[in-house]
Amino acid sequence: MVDEIVAHARAELPNECCGIVAALNGSAVKVYRATNAAASPLRYEIGPRDLIRIWNDISDNGWALEAIYHSHTKSRAYPSQTDINLAANWPNAIYLIVSLENRDEAELRGFRIVDEQVEEVGLAIS
């Protein structure tokens, strides 16, 4: 699934990509690509149609929204102030950021962002 997220990030250049990861019992089961409605290299916005489509599928399968992912096209994998502000909408989600700052080697990191406090979380990738 990491490869899928990184491929999505590369495919959306020069803009940021975005999407959602569903989980069952804390283990990722599916990556949902979404369209960046902002169509921007500086921010992301999951459009309402994508959000409804994804939310319905997650719900129909009895899964949980585990993570929201997006890319940073020219900066490190760390939440920007814009990312921190957006996180107020989904405080229980993990925020995955894939950095394409180094085009040859993407970096993926995860964060919890609650009350504007950023805490990195370890990612178990198998």
3-state class (DSSP) for residue 94: strand
Q: Which of 84, 76, 60 is nearest to 68 (CA)?
A: 84
- Domain assignment present for 38: yes
The enclosing domain of 43 has a CATH number of 3.40.140.10
- Domain assignment present for 123: no
Where in the sequence is the domain holding 68, given as residue range(s)? Answer: 2-118
- Domain assignment present for 13: yes
Q: Structural domain tally of the chain?
A: 1
Q: What angle do CA 35, 51, 109 make, to 5 degrees?
A: 70
- Domain assignment present for 126: no
pTM above 0.85, yes or no: yes
- Domain assignment present for 125: no
Q: Over its length of 126 residues, how does the chain's per-residue pLDDT go in tens digits?
A: 899 999 999 999 999 999 999 999 989 999 999 999 999 999 999 999 999 999 999 999 999 999 999 999 999 999 999 999 999 988 899 999 999 998 789 999 999 999 999 999 988 775
